[in-house]
């Protein structure tokens, strides 16, 4: 996974923010929309990925 570069326009300093694969997995699991039995199940897993909520959680 590649990191992305954030530049703070006020300070003009470059900072790198990295998320480990485990962080991404956790965020996707926590923000998924449950579609069947409440909680994780063998048919639908964690549910449907909610990309908007996942991205909002990162920021």
**Within a domain: residue 44?**
yes
Kindly state whether residue 53 falls inside one of the protein's structural domains. Answer: yes
Identify the band that residue 48 occupies on the pLDDT scale cut at 50, 70 and 90. Answer: very high
Name the domain count of the chain. 1
**From CA 54, how far away is CA 34, in angstroms rounded?**
14
Q: Across residues 1-10, what is the average pLDDT?
A: 50
Q: For residue 35, is it within any domain?
A: yes
User: Is residue 5, in this structure, part of any structural domain at all?
Assistant: no
What b/e readout covers 14-33, taking b as 16+ CB neighbours within 10 angstroms? Answer: eeeeeeeeeeeeebbeebbe
Of residues 27, 35, 33, the one with CA closest to residue 56: 27
Domain of residue 29, residue span? 19-58
- Give every CB contact of residue 4 below 8 A, 6+ residues apart in sequence: 16, 17
**DSSP state at residue 13:** E
Position 49 in a domain? yes
In a domain, 11, yes or no: no
58 or 9: whose pLDDT is higher?
58
């Amino acid at each position: 996974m590649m990191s992305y570069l954030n530049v703070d326009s006020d300070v003009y300093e470059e900072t790198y923010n990295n998320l480990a694969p485990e962080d991404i997995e956790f965020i996707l699991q926590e923000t998924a929309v449950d579609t069947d039995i409440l909680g994780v199940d063998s048919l639908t897993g964690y549910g449907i990925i909610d990309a908007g909520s996942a991205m909002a959680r990162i920021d």
